[in-house]
Structure 1
Amino acid sequence: MARSFNPAKKSLGQHFLKDATILTKIIDVADLSETDQVLEIGPGRGALTKRLLQKSARVTAIELDKDLIVGPLNELFGDPNFQLIEGDAREVNIEEVFPESPRFKLVANLPYNAGTNILRKLLFSKMSPTFTVVMLQREVARNITADCGHLNILGVLFQTYYTTRYHFNVQPRSFSPQPKVVSGVISLKRNCTPLLPHSSAGDFFKFLTNGFSAPRKQLHNSLSLGLGISIQRVKDICYQLDLDTELRPSYIEVNEWVSLYEAFCESGHMGALNKNTRP
C-alpha cells in the first residue's frame, strides 16, 4: 500500500490524522455545502481531503512534500473537483489560487512547526477565507481563542478581525506518528466589520508585540518598555481611555487594545513601526 512508503517527515512537522471520528467532527464544524470552495493546507495522505471532496464543490490543496504528491495524493488527481498546488503555503499567493471567486473556506490540519505562521499569512492576506477550521497544537489554539484574563498577542490579533471558537481536543493517539502534545480544533469566522481595517494589521501586530513585551508587568510598564516611551506618557494616554494601567496586558479587552492602538497612532508614538509589516 502507498501509505507504508510515505513515513512522516519530522522536518516538516508531519503527523497524519487517522481517526475517522475526528475527521467527521472537523467536517461537521466546517459546515460545508456543495457550493463551497475549500483550501486545504498540508493534505498529507489525503484522509481529510477525501472527506472534503464528498462535501464541497471544489478542493484546492497545497502540499510541500513531493513524496506525498506522487504517492497517496496521486489517486485524487482523477477527481475534477480536486486541484493540488505543490509548494510552501507560506509563499503561495492566494489571490492567484482563487482569481475568480474570493469566497472560500480554509480547512486544515496544520503542521506544528509552521502552523501559526501559515495561519497568520492566510488570514491577513488581501484575500482571506470567510470561515476557517484548523487543527493546531492545543496551546496555540487556546491562545488564539483566549478570553480576557488569558489574552496574548495571537488572541488579540485574531479576535480583532475574526470571531473565534475552541471546539475540541484531539489526543495524540489520533495521529500517525503520535505527537508529544495534544492538539485543538478551532474555528475563525471573518467579521464583516472588523475592529480595525485589514491594512492596519501589520502595525497592530507590532504594537501588540511591544505591548506584550513584559506580560507579567503592569500595562504601563509593559507598553513603556515595548514602545520606548515614558511611563507617564503611557499613563496619560491610558487615563484618556479610562484604562486601569495597573492591569497586566492579558486583562485588557480586545476592543481596549484597539482603542489603545488608535490612541498611540494619534499621539505620534507609532512612527518607529514599519508600515509595511504584516502579521
Structure 2
Amino acid sequence: MARPARISRALSQNFLADRATAEHVARLTVPHGRRVPLLLEVGAGKGALTARLAPRCHELHAHEIDPQLVPNLRTRFSTTPQVRVIAGDFMLTQPPCTPFAVAGNVPFSRTADIVDWCLRATALTDATLLTQLEYARKRTGDYGSWTLLTVRSWPCHDWRLVGRIDRRRFSPVPRVDAGVVRIERRRTPLLEPAALHDWRHLVELGFSGVGGSLHASVRRAHPRRRVDSAFRAARLDPRVLVGEVSPDHWLRLHQELTS
C-alpha cells in the first residue's frame, strides 16, 4: 500500500477535500455541458479536481510539482485515457499553440506567476483558478476598485469572480477562504492591435501615482485642456483615485486622448 504523501508547506499545498466543491469548480471551468479539446490543470494534488474535469475534456494534462504525489496520480488515472499526468513545475511548460484552457487549485504563493503565464499564452481561451479570496476580489473589481494588472489586460481579457469556497473545504484548512477567478480571452478584443501599446502606456502612466491623482498623472503626457476634456467625456471627476476608475471608463478616457 502506498504511503500517504506529506503536506508540503514550501509548496503551499491545500488540497480540495470535498467532492461537491470539486464538482462545482469543474462546472465553472467547463460550463454548459460542453467538452473542451485541451485542458491544463495546475497543481493536480491528489486528483480531486482532476477526476471531475476529466469527463469534460478530450485531453487533460494534469501537472503536479510534488514528486510524492505523482505516482498515486498516475495509478489513479491509469485507466482514464484522456488524462496525462505530468510531473514538474507548471511554470516551465510551453503554452500549446492550439486553443486550450487552464484550471486549478493553484498554490496561493504562486498565484501571480501562474496568472501572468496565462495572460501571456496567446492560444489560451480561458482560465478558472482557485485563489485566495482577497486576490480574486481585488482582480475582478469586487471591492469597487481595480488593479493595474486587470485594467491593463482588460481589452483582451475579461475578469470575473464566479465563486467563493469556504476554507473548510480544503485540507489542511488554510487561514482564508478561496475565490474562483474566471479569466476569458475575448474573441474580439476591445481595441485594435495597433492601439494596445498606447493603451498599456496610458494605464501604466495613470497607475504611476506621480502627481497625486489620475488626472495629474495623465497630464504628464497630455496637455491639461485635453485631459480636462477627456475626463468630462468619460464622466470622471478630476479628483478620482486611479483604483476607482472602472475599465469601461478607462476605455472612454483612452478613446478621447488618442482620437
Task: Quote the residue 2:171 is aligned against.
Answer: 176
What SS class does the counterpart of residue 109 from structure 2 fall into? coil
SS at match of 1:160: coil
2:34 aligns to what? 33
Larger mean Cα displacement after TM superposition, 212-221 or 53-62: 212-221
Structure 2 counterpart SS, 1:5 = coil
Q: Is the 8 A contact 2:118 2:127 kept in 1?
A: no
Taking only aligned residues, the RMSD between alpha carbons, in angstroms, comes to: 3.1
* Greater Cα shift, 110-119 or 162-171: 162-171
Contact 2:18-2:169 at 8 Å conserved across structures: yes
Deviation at 1:254, TM superposition (A): 1.0
Paired residue type of 2:39: V
The equivalent of 2:247 in structure 1 is 254
In 2, the alpha carbon distance for the partners of 1:202 and 1:132 equals 24
- What percentage of aligned pairs have identical amino acids? 25
**Structure 2: 5+ residue runs without aligned partners?**
none
Judge conservation of contact 2:142–2:161 (CA < 8 Å) in 1. Answer: no
Deviations 1:216-242 (A, max 9, x none): 942124556xxxx37xx4644423423
Q: CA deviation at 1:132?
A: 2.4
Give me the whole-angstrom Cα distance separating, in 1, the residues matched to 2:106 and 2:194: 25
Question: Which residue of 2 is the match for residue 117 of structure 1?
Answer: 113
1:27 CA displacement: 1.7
Determine the C-alpha separation between the residues in 2 that align with 1:53 and 1:66.
Answer: 21
TM-score, structure 2 as length reference: 0.82
Query: Which whole-Å deviations, capped at 9, do the CAs of 1:137-178 have from their partners, x for residues lacking one?
Result: 111111221169411213323433233322221121111111
Deviation at 1:214, TM superposition (A): 3.3
Tell me, in whole angstroms, the C-alpha distance in 2 between the residues paired with 1:134 and 1:120.
12
Residues 1:207 and 1:116: Cα distance change in structure 2 (over 3 Å): farther
Are residue 21 (structure 1) and residue 20 (structure 2) matched? yes
**Letter aligned with residue 21 of structure 1:** A
In structure 2, how many angstroms separate the alpha carbons of the residues matched to 1:202 and 1:9? 41
1:96-245 residue pairs with structure 2 within 5 A?
99=97, 102-128=98-124, 130-146=125-141, 149-196=144-191, 208-214=203-209, 217-223=212-218, 229=220, 233=222, 235-241=224-230, 242-243=233-234, 244=236, 245=238
- Matched residues in 2 for 1:19 and 1:105: separation? 23
Give yes or no for contact 1:144–1:158 (8 Å, CA) kept in 2.
no
Measure, in 1, the Cα distance between the counterparts of 2:227 and 2:209.
Answer: 17
Query: Per the alignment, do residues 258 and 179 of structure 1 end up closer, same or farther by CA in structure 2, a change over 3 Å counting?
Result: same
Tell me, in whole angstroms, the C-alpha distance in 1 between the residues paired with 2:197 and 2:46: 34
- The count of residues paired between Structure 1 and Structure 2 equals 253
| Deviation for aligned residue 1:195 | 2.1
**What is the CA–CA distance in structure 2 between the aligned matches of 1:262 and 1:142, rounded to whole Å?**
27
Q: Which amino acid aligns with 1:39?
A: L
Quote the residue 2:80 is aligned against.
79
Q: Is the 8 A contact 1:215 1:249 kept in 2?
A: no
Query: What SS class does the counterpart of residue 91 from structure 2 fall into?
Result: coil
Distance 1:60 1:171, change over 3 A: same
Q: 1:35 to 1:78 in 2, by over 3 A?
A: same
The amino acid across from 2:130 in the alignment is: M
TM norm structure 1: 0.77
Gaps of 5+ in 1: 268-279
Report what 2:9 is aligned to.
10
Q: Shift in Å at residue 49 of structure 1?
A: 0.5
Contact 1:107–1:132 (Cα < 8 Å) also in 2: yes
1:190-217 superposed Cα distances (whole Å, 9 cap, x missing partner): 2111224578778855754442243994
Q: Is the 8 A contact 1:143 1:152 kept in 2?
A: yes
